[in-house]
Amino acid sequence: MTKIARVETFLVAPRWLFVRIETESGIIGWGEATCEGRSETVRTAVDQLAELLMGQDALRIEDHWQVLTKGSFYRGGPILASAVSGLDQALWDIAGKHYGAPVHQLLGGPVRDRIRVYGWVGGDEPAEIRDQISAQVEAGLTAVKMNASGRMGALASVAELDAVVRRVAVAREVLGDQRDVAVDFHGRFTVANARRVAPLLEPYRPFFLEEPVVPENSHLIGEVVRCTTTPVSTGERLYSRQEFLPVLQAGIAVAQPDLAHAGGITEVRKIATLAEVYDVQLAPHCPLGPIALAACLQVGFATPNFLIQEQSIGIHYNLGAEVLDYCLDKTPLTFVGGYVSRLTAPGLGIEVDEHAVRTADKRGHAWRSPTWRHADGSFAEW
């Protein structure tokens, strides 16, 4: 029987929330509902939504998604969407294991046999950036992402603008012309600053400029798109097709939904199809754990307009645990030459170390995102 018998959540280091669904026949599915800094709140939401799933057929994934997202009066937002995401991923994992196939086979089959991945690099000073990028290159990655800046004023000084340019120039020098660097504005820039900086970075050919405006200012992103020839990306804090539609219409080149925030595999697959109508590529946001990464890859193997996959092995947030620490077999998520090969095991394609998860949940975590202000004291994003 594929009726749902149990739903559990696990708050594990460094900052992740895992979801486990078990059927009456003993099939176990795993998902990730991490909402960085708000995972305890999401945990409560998962518990409430689980009431709608108990005793139901786990294989009715689309029907469950519709009920979970549209069955109550209040809809949307990062908390509900993250809770649904974790449950949805776990249901797809169960479906794959029930049918004996990886999830991408259930989504129509593979359109590629490997996916390019990139890693994040930190460092405020050019020397630090040089060292961190060199380490990623030595690890075999062919693409990295870096923050454009730390704090800056709402209208940046010449020195602040020049510092952004110097950082990206160093990245390009280290990477050469055969590798890529994406530049993450992280919602820290005002529209005015983004419009000033974007043209200055064009000589260094960024892969894309990420989140140049905060999500509540998505109606302004077209101004940034029009001021530069560099591709513009956004989407880690957009949670549905309806929220992606305006930025697609505004001319972004890369859509970045997060599979732990944007309704899971079910909704991100639909976002990808909508993006294809606008000739936009998919590059899911994923500075999270192994389950979210596996879900992203399953979508990627079945999505024609998939560009590249973010992954967070070694990222500075990973204090207390690393991405692969909760995997019994680390081989499926091993990168060779900057790519990960197609996952072939049933479900999400990874085997979660349940003992490690349950042990980590006893310790829990209380990770919080930093409070961010512009250098002049006004509020921005982090």
For range 187-215, the mean pLDDT: 96
**Does 111 lie in the same domain as 160?**
yes
The answer as to whether 368 is a domain residue is no
Whether 104 is a known active-site residue: answer no
Residue 269 has pLDDT above 90, yes or no: yes
Q: How far apart are CA 150 and CA 370, in angstroms?
A: 13
For range 279-284, the mean pLDDT: 98
**Does 150 lie in the same domain as 166?**
yes
Q: Which domain holds residue 93?
A: 3-101
Q: How far apart are CA 284 and CA 32, in angstroms?
A: 14
- Of 57, 78, 101, the residue that ends a domain is 101
Q: How many structural domains compose the chain? A: 2
Max alpha carbon distance in the chain (Å)? 65
pLDDT score, position 126 = 84
The answer as to whether 286 is a domain residue is yes
- Of 101, 125, 141, the residue that ends a domain is 101
For range 59-66, the mean pLDDT: 98
- Of 52, 72, 101, the residue that ends a domain is 101
* Catalytic position from the list 186, 261, 365, 374: 186
The answer as to whether 362 is a domain residue is no
Position 356 confidence tier, pLDDT thresholds 50, 70, 90: very high
**Does 55 lie in the same domain as 127?**
no
**Does 181 lie in the same domain as 96?**
no
pLDDT score, position 365 = 78
Phi and psi, residue 209, nearest 5°: -105, 115
**Does 288 lie in the same domain as 174?**
yes
Terminal CA-to-CA distance of the chain, rounded, Å? Answer: 46
Q: How far apart are CA 123 and CA 296, in angstroms?
A: 27
Position 127 confidence tier, pLDDT thresholds 50, 70, 90: confident
For range 20-25, the mean pLDDT: 98
Which DSSP state fits 342? P
CATH number of the structural domain spanning residue 10: 3.30.390.10
**Does 186 lie in the same domain as 157?**
yes
Angle between helices 78-99 and 39-50 (to 10 degrees): 60
CATH number of the structural domain spanning residue 163: 3.20.20.120
Which tens digits make up the pLDDT trace of 304-333? Answer: 999 999 998 877 676 677 789 999 999 999
Regarding predicted confidence, which is higher, 285 or 1? Answer: 285
Closest CA to 30 of 93, 83, 84, 80: 93
The answer as to whether 152 is a domain residue is yes
Provide the 3-class DSSP secondary structure of residue 262. Answer: coil
Residue 381 has pLDDT above 60, yes or no: no
Position 37 confidence tier, pLDDT thresholds 50, 70, 90: confident
Position 122 confidence tier, pLDDT thresholds 50, 70, 90: confident
* Catalytic position from the list 98, 104, 285, 365: 285
Beta bridge partners of 146: 121, 183
Q: How far apart are CA 200 and CA 205, in angstroms?
A: 10
The answer as to whether 119 is a domain residue is yes
**Does 109 lie in the same domain as 92?**
no
Q: What percent of the chain has pLDDT over 90?
A: 84
pLDDT score, position 313 = 83
pLDDT score, position 248 = 98
For range 271-284, the mean pLDDT: 98
**Does 181 lie in the same domain as 87?**
no
The answer as to whether 380 is a domain residue is no
DSSP string, 307-330: --EE--TT-TT--S--GGGGBS--
**Does 42 lie in the same domain as 153?**
no
For range 74-97, the mean pLDDT: 97
**Does 51 lie in the same domain as 15?**
yes
CB atoms within 10 A of CB 366: 9
Regarding predicted confidence, which is higher, 45 or 152? Answer: 45
Position 151 confidence tier, pLDDT thresholds 50, 70, 90: confident
The answer as to whether 356 is a domain residue is no
Whether 98 is a known active-site residue: answer no
Instruction: Please give the mean pLDDT across all residues of the chain.
Output: 93
127 burial via Cβ count (<10 Å: 0-12, 13-18, 19+): exposed
The answer as to whether 371 is a domain residue is no
**Does 334 lie in the same domain as 228?**
yes
**Does 289 lie in the same domain as 246?**
yes
Position 374 confidence tier, pLDDT thresholds 50, 70, 90: low
Joined together, the tokens standing for residue 368 give 């919080």
